[in-house]
C-alpha cells in the first residue's frame, strides 16, 4: 500500500496538549466553567441593576430629587 510521506498531526483544542493527563484536562475544564459562570453572573447582576434603575433619580411634583432603589448593590446617598 502506498504511504504518504506527509503525516497528519491530530487536531488538539486550544491551550491543551495531547500528552496532558486526564486530571489536568478535567481541572482546566472545571476552571473554564467556573470562570464563565462568574463572568455571566457579574454581567447578569449589572443588567438587572440597570433594568431597575439603580443609580438614577427622578424629580417629583414638588421638585425634590429621589433616587431609584437598587436590588443588590447598596447605594447610600445622604
Q: Is 7 domain-assigned?
A: no
75, part of any domain: no
- Is the pTM of the predicted complex or chain greater than 0.85? no
Cell numbers at residue 16, please?
491543551
> Which residue's C-alpha cell is 491543551?
16
Residues 7-47 pLDDT 10s? 766 666 666 666 678 888 888 889 999 999 999 999 999 99
Within a domain: 9: no
User: Quick check: is 4 in a domain?
Assistant: no
DSSP 57: E
Domain region containing 62: 22-67
CA 72 from chain centre, in angstroms, equals 18
| 51 within a domain of the structure (yes/no) | yes
pLDDT at 14: 64
pLDDT in tens, 38-75: 999 999 999 999 998 888 889 999 999 988 888 887 77
Find, among 65, 71, 48, 67, the residue nearest to 56 by Cα.
Answer: 67
Between residues 76 and 29, the one the model is more confident about: 29
Domains contained in the chain, number: 1
Is residue 44 in some structural domain? yes
Where would I find the H helices in the chain?
22-52
Residue 72 within any structural domain of the chain: no
The answer to whether residue 36 sits within a structural domain is: yes
Amino acid at each position: 500500500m502506498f504511504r504518504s510521506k506527509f503525516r497528519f498531526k491530530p487536531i488538539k483544542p486550544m491551550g491543551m496538549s495531547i500528552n496532558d493527563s486526564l486530571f489536568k484536562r478535567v481541572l482546566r475544564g472545571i476552571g473554564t466553567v467556573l470562570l464563565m459562570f462568574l463572568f455571566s453572573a457579574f454581567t447578569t447582576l449589572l443588567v438587572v441593576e440597570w433594568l431597575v434603575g439603580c443609580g438614577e433619580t427622578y424629580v417629583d411634583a414638588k421638585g425634590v430629587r429621589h433616587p431609584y432603589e437598587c436590588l443588590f448593590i447598596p447605594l447610600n446617598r445622604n
